[in-house]
């Protein structure tokens, strides 16, 4: 039967958590694009929804691996924030997505995120071309390089890749 307790816990609940995380990532895109800020509540929701998926599906050891990956991503995010590579919200979102990232998906996640980041940067620079030209005439190189880019969009693109990979894993069980 499709509606037995095991099927609800192993397929429907994780699928619901994945959909929730995807909508939260859309909210991240909207927030970062409009305000250059990412709400901590949304980041926490993405991280917690990962555990909603992994708790019924993975062994305790595999869950600890997921926690370890998230912790490593958090350290990398804080280092990127410290060196002004990305904002604090972006670093926390990176860590939240680390909880979703299984070891076999890390490199592909980073590639998708980097390609999306490149696309966002190029598109955003094209849209803000007039501001760049105005800064070029009135400012130094440091001011020109400090144009804000909403990198949460690229992180969310990597997150959508992860959500799709996890969803395929969930429904193929």
| Residues of the chain above pLDDT 70, percent | 86
What's the pLDDT tens digit per position in 53-112?
A: 999 888 999 999 999 999 999 999 999 999 988 899 999 999 999 999 999 999 999 999
pLDDT over threshold 70, residue 41: yes
- Give 80's contacts (C-beta < 8 A, 6+ positions apart): 86, 90, 91, 94
pLDDT over threshold 90, residue 126: no
DSSP conformation class of 100: T
Q: Work out the pLDDT band at 128, boundaries 50, 70, 90.
A: confident
**Two structure tokens written together for 101:** 């990232």
């Amino acid at each position: 039967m499709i509606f037995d307790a095991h099927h609800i816990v192993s397929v429907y609940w994780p699928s619901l958590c994945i959909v929730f995380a995807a909508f939260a990532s859309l909210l991240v895109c909207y927030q970062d694009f409009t305000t250059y800020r990412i709400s901590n509540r949304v980041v926490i929701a993405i991280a917690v929804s990962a555990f909603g998926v992994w708790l019924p599906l993975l062994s305790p050891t595999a869950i600890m691996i997921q926690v370890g990956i998230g912790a490593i991503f958090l350290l990398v995010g804080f280092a990127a924030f410290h060196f002004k590579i990305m904002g604090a919200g972006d670093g926390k979102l990176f860590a939240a997505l680390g909880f979703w990232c299984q070891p076999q998906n890390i490199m592909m996640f980073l590639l998708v995120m980097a390609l999306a980041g490149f696309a966002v940067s190029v598109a955003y620079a094209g849209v803000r071309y007039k501001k760049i030209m105005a800064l070029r005439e009135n400012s130094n190189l440091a001011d020109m390089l400090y144009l804000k880019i909403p990198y949460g969009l690229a992180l969310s693109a990597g997150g959508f890749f992860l959500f799709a990979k996890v969803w395929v894993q969930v429904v193929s069980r």
